[in-house]
A and B are shown apart, each in its own frame.
Chain A
Amino acid sequence: MNGQTAFYNALRDPELPLPDGLLTWNGSDPTPRFAIYRNNVMASLIDTLADTCPVTQLLVGEAFFRAMAKIYIEQTPPTSPILADYGDSFPQFITDFPPAASVSYLADLARLEILRVQAYHAADCDHSSYLNLEMALMDTASLPDLHASLHPSTGILSSPYAIASIWAAHQGTGRLENIDPNQAEHVLVIRPLLEVDVLLIDEGTAQFIACLQQGTSLGLALALTSQQIPDFELTTALDVLIRNRVLLSFYL
């Protein structure tokens, strides 16, 4: 085994012996020295996840969060030096992590926080990106065949839990004790300019936007959404899309 593979394996697994060939000037056991590297790797990656998911950490406490994050990192280390992209699969890991089961909404809260970070770093859109909306909306005959371009920061999350309210209560908006955590909430995450907005929307609008995000035409998105949510109102959804600058343009 070559040098860096042995070093790497020992970094990843503290149960393994140290790699061969380490030297200390005073002949001391290199174990505590090597432990600095082990700790740097793990602590810096745990800090990355904690920075991405601060409310998730508050909900379970720092000690629990760090222990949970450590196991995730051991299983799923980053594959890129761009750490803004790290942690995509952390919410699913939380869902499957039995010790976290008592906080039922924890995984969805992490999903919301990851959507916020993704929105924060998403591509920008200037005014010229918003095209032809009024004209297209007036031409009702061709409307069903059109597809929508959405702002790259758009995120949609539907949860059986009151995740937006719980998240907002930790930003100083609303009181945690007034929230029923088992109230389903549907959330739009959007960054029209520099600030990331987290907005409560109705279930139908959430589903409609999710359809558009997948490239479904307006007509099909409307049909699919209405099928599942009979009282879905297209005008409400279009109002949300335009008012929050989610909808950029239409294409055929």
Chain B
Amino acid sequence: MMSSLSFAPAACGAPFVTTECTLPVRAGIGLKSEHFQTILAEKPDFGFFEIHAENYMVAGGPFHHYLTRIRELYPLSLHGVGLSIGSEHLLDEAHLGRLSVLIDRYQPQSFSEHLAWASHGGAFLNDLLPLPYNDKTLHLVCDHIDQIQNRLQRQMLLENPATYVEFKSSDRSETDFIKEVLHRTGCGLLLDVNNVYVSCTNHGRDPYAYIKALSQQWVGEIHLAGFSRETDAIGAPLLIDSHGSPIADAVWQLYEFTIATIGATPTLIERDNNIPSLDVMWREANQAEQRLMAQATQHQGCPERSL
């Protein structure tokens, strides 16, 4: 089954008119339980919040209590980490059902998942694992995305991975693979600029060429995050997508190039470890928002500027 349905970017939940079906072109942050009460008390000016879907697959309690109230105030991005789209096995139908329940309940403006696998033989590994890029995996990933989009009745965004190894069985580049998946399934791209920088560094590639290769694709969201540094067996830099530190200068530069190339795009600051105060997160989000505004202004002033 390949691409039996085609999804336009606006084809999401029924109660929403077209303009509400995408995230605002602003900066948002990941929603953390440490910040629930401060957000409701102070209503800080974030463009949107993003949640990890699996954290909210619980019956009740504070997570749903606060998310319900925060959702009344802010747009929401639902970001899955457990579907295992790149798995050689069948997708977990029960998990798709749980996602569907969350989507019905919270009506997120965006749903995204990863080009990776995370489960095997009934065990969940809680990491985003790499896959080779060839015809076999292309069919597998496209079938899985078709199944997800049909089940959830909406377009999803697929996130490019951060990887540390590559495979001899790959016969095409990651960008060619992603382009083909997007073309065949009609899904959009969640362009993780930090992952681009991390993977390109880890595999000796040019991150700017990577962005250019995907510049014609529909990008529904950008992710930015911090990485940590290691070295490989011969001392070459090996970056780890750790989400535990501020965004690196090199990633900010790549982000500026990205939005200059593809246009201003909803941007999420990810921080999953060493979570700072909401003020600190706001300042980092604001750095992204300043760049988005500058990009929008520049674009207005020079409509024919070649990108």
Contacts and interface: CB of A to CB of B under 8 A. Distances in A.
B60 A23 contact: no
B233 A122 contact: no
Nearest to A34: B165
B204 to A, nearest CB: 4
Contacts of B64: 124
A160 interface: no
B59 A5 contact: no
A31 B233 contact: yes
B125 A77 contact: yes
Given A120-B62, A194-B65, A36 B164 contact: yes
B169 A21 contact: yes
Given A79-B123, A121-B63, A28 B236 contact: yes
Contacts of A31: 233
A44 B273 CA distance: 10
A30 B65 CA distance: 46
Among A29, A36, A77, the one with the most B-chain Cβ atoms within 10 Å of its Cβ is A36
A40 interface: yes
A106 B61 CA distance: 27
B238 A36 contact: yes
Most chain A CB neighbours (cut-off 10 Å) among B167, B168, B204: B167
Contacts of B138: none
B232 A77 contact: no
Nearest to A125: B60
Interface string A47-69: 01000000000000000000000
A152 B59 contact: yes
Residue of B61, B65, B165, B202 ringed by the most chain A CB atoms within 10 A:
B61
A209 interface: no
Contacts of A2: 88
Interface in B93-122: 95, 98, 117-122
Contact of A30 (B83, B124, B165, B204): B165
A111 interface: no
A102 B92 CA distance: 42
B164 A77 contact: no
A191 interface: yes
A22 interface: yes
A44 B166 CA distance: 23
A8 B121 contact: yes
Given A3-B132, A26-B204, A48 B126 contact: yes
Contacts of A82: 54, 57-58, 82, 98
Contacts of A215: none
A83 interface: yes
B156 interface: no
Contacts of A78: 123-124, 126
A81 B82 contact: yes
B126 A41 contact: yes
Contact of B126 (A7, A23, A44): A44
A32 B59 contact: no
B217 to A, nearest CB: 24
Given A3-B131, A81-B118, A82-B54, 5 more contacts: A3-B167, A8-B121, A24-B165, A36-B238, A79-B123
17 contacts: A3-B88, A4-B120, A24-B203, A26-B234, A26-B236, A30-B165, A33-B164, A33-B202, A34-B165, A36-B238, A37-B164, A44-B126, A79-B124, A82-B82, A82-B98, A124-B64, A194-B65
- Top 7 A-B pairs ranked by shortest CB distance? A81-B82, A121-B58, A124-B60, A25-B204, A123-B59, A29-B233, A28-B233
Interface of B: 54-55, 57-65, 81-83, 87-88, 95, 98, 117-127, 129, 131-132, 164-170, 202-205, 230-234, 236, 238, 240
